Amino acid sequence: MQSLIRAFSALAAGAFLYGSVFAQGTETIVIQGGMLIDGTGAPRQRMDVIVRDGQIENILNLNQARITFDPETVFIDATDKVVTPGFIDTHGHGSPLQSPEFENFLAMGVTSVCLGMDGSSPTADPWDQWTAEVEAESPGPNIVPFVGHGTVRKESGTAFEENPSEEQIASMVALVREAMEAGCWGMTTGIEYIPGTFATQEELIETAKPVAEFGGLVMSHMRSEDNDQLDAAIEELLTQGEGAGCPVHISHFKVVYGKGTERAEELLAKLDDARSRGITVTADVYPYTASYTGIGIVFPEWAKPPNDWAEVKANRREDLQEYLRNRVNLRNGPGATLFGTDPWTGMTLEHVATELEMPFEDVLIDRIGPFGGGAAYFVMNETLQGRLLQNSHVMVCSDGSPGMHHPRGYGSFAKIVRYYVNETGMMSLEEAVRKMSGLPAATVGLSRDGHDRGLLKAGYAADILIFDPAAVKDTATFDNPQQLAKGFETILVNGVVVRSDGEWTGERAGQLLRKR
């Protein structure tokens, strides 16, 4: 603790250091001597930050200013470190009611987490009950809620309807509007998943209109991420945005089976063309070449609801076996599917098949089924994904949670600093920080409407990181994915120090952020 905090004499700075540095009653914190990276992408500069009552009161050079502080002011020495805005995870998972501390996010510098992703949110009706429960828990990071299109489909009674009626669409629209009125920041879709996969283009446009009315954002896990279907999936999302007059965002942008810089450039050019036509489109990427989702991703649509699994298994077994063999082999084979759920956590599908002495397709049919587990899938190309990540409209996400058996939930933001900045030089630290703070804040709307987050700027919320970039390390691996990141030594959330010397202080200072 003393490595970060020093008290200056009353004569020199007008302050003494009294009692516990992290007491809830502390009103003023001065972060002194650090190199400021403000989240805009601008070059760093040596400046001091004054925090009072949860906000950044001023940014200046104290050596050139004559300021007297009260005796209870806390000074944090940031010499030889950088000071940045807290990171914003545009695509997270997990429940702030079940694990409100969300230490996996905080340890990698994330001070705000967007939840309700992939079309699945805790509830759409009533929103006020869930938000009140989250506020009562005092989460570790700030929570940024989105309403899920799939959840709305279920709660409207539309569920598996392939051609919803006007009344059903109107019911969905009303639920989205209710969620936006309650303070959601937008709507997410998961139209590669049930029930989102049944959505029509008309439905997607209509349900996005109330999002547009409230100045929100549609985030989409698109209909497909496979290389040969990705262009059509992007067009569907762009059409939704254009039809509703709403900004759209590609969640965890990836190209399954795609390879190389040339393919990345084609996709980025497609998005540039959409912007030239007036469509606002952005994306996020997590820095791993393995995805993670339910095993149902390898099963055919005709084996999932509303179809009867037992009937399909009994009457179309040979078709199912052939489909699964082809699908899994196309996805780099059974050795590229790593289970993250019991009883085979940490084993590949290939290892399970060997252990059970069964063909892997029969393991999937007889032992697992389309909803019997989750896995990591090694299906992406590092060169392609890295080029997507470098684009100025693409930000960083984790797509992770506290319990997920994938290192992205514990390492994503640390890996950006450790690998993309320190080791490869693929981006500057200033640009990396922009992708993890200022850009997501502007995209979601957290830097507008009085919320004022994502930048180091007077009047903005004091979500702040102090760290030595060279010390940042993602320790999570696929063998041991739930290992906290290291190096983000001091973290403030709403002006409260929640991590010091790399350890949680026990404080939970996050807020549920409602869109105004």
More confidently predicted of 107 and 3: 107
CB atoms near residue 350 (< 10 Å): 17
* Co-location of 267 and 181 in the same domain: yes
Q: What is the CATH number of the domain that holds 41?
A: 2.30.40.10
Range scoring the smallest mean pLDDT among 24-38, 422-436, 446-460: 24-38
Tell which of 378, 405, 423 closes a domain. 378
pLDDT tens digits, residue range 212-259?
A: 999 999 999 999 999 999 999 999 999 999 999 999 999 999 999 999
Taking alpha carbons only, the member of 297, 346, 286 closest to residue 93 is 286
- Note whether residue 260 is domain-resident: yes
Q: Is the domain of 79 the same as that of 121?
A: no
- What's the chain's Rg over C-alpha atoms? 24
- Over residues 392-425, the pLDDT tens digits come to 999 999 999 999 999 999 999 999 999 999 999 9
Domain C-terminal end among 378, 395, 423: 378
Please report, for residues 295, 305, 306, 493, the alpha-carbon distance to residue 302 in angstroms, rounded to integers and kept in the order given: 15, 8, 8, 47
Residues 284, 354, single domain; the answer is: no
Q: What is the pLDDT of residue 21?
A: 35
Per residue in 45-63, pLDDT tens?
999 999 999 999 999 998 8
Average pLDDT, the chain: 92
Residue 45 lies in a domain: yes
Whether residues 181 and 315 fall in one domain = no
Q: Is residue 452 part of a domain?
A: no
Q: Is residue 476 part of a domain?
A: no
pLDDT of residue 327: 94
Question: CATH no. for residue 169?
Answer: 3.20.20.140
Give the confidence band of 8 by pLDDT, cuts at 50, 70, 90: very low
pTM for this model (two decimals): 0.92
Which pLDDT value is given to residue 124? 64
Do both 372 and 419 map to the same domain? no
Residues making up the chain, counted from first to last = 516
What is the reported pLDDT for 126? 76
- Specify whether 121 is located in the same domain as 156: yes
pLDDT at 451: 81
Q: Which of 361, 378, 395 is the last residue of a domain?
A: 378
In the 3-class helix/strand/coil scheme, how is 46-88 assigned residue by residue? ECEEEEECCEEEEEECHHHCCCCCCCCCEEEECCCCEEEECEE
Looking at residues 128-155, what average pLDDT do you find?
A: 94
Domain identity same for 307 and 276? no
Q: How many domains does the chain have?
A: 3
Q: Looking at the domain assignment, is residue 454 inside a domain?
A: no
Q: Which two tokens stand for residue 269?
A: 């050019």
In a domain? residue 510: no
Residue 512 lies in a domain: no
What integer is the mean pLDDT of 305-318? 94
Q: Residue 252 sits in which domain range?
A: 87-289+383-447
pLDDT mean over 200-209: 97
The answer to whether residue 481 is domain-embedded is no
> Do 314 and 349 share a domain, yes or no?
yes
Residues 6+ apart with CB under 8 A from 13: 62, 69, 75
Same domain, yes or no, for 394 and 362?
no
* Same domain flag for 214 and 236: yes
Residue 449: per-residue pLDDT: 72
Instruction: Answer for the pair 86, 495: CB distance below 8 angstroms, yes or no.
Output: no
The structure tokens listed for 78 are 């940031």
78 and 116, same domain (yes or no): no
Task: Read off the pLDDT band of 64 (50, 70, 90).
Answer: confident
- Whether the predicted pLDDT of 293 surpasses 70: yes
Same domain, 301 and 373: yes
Confidence of residue 475 (pLDDT cuts 50, 70, 90): very high
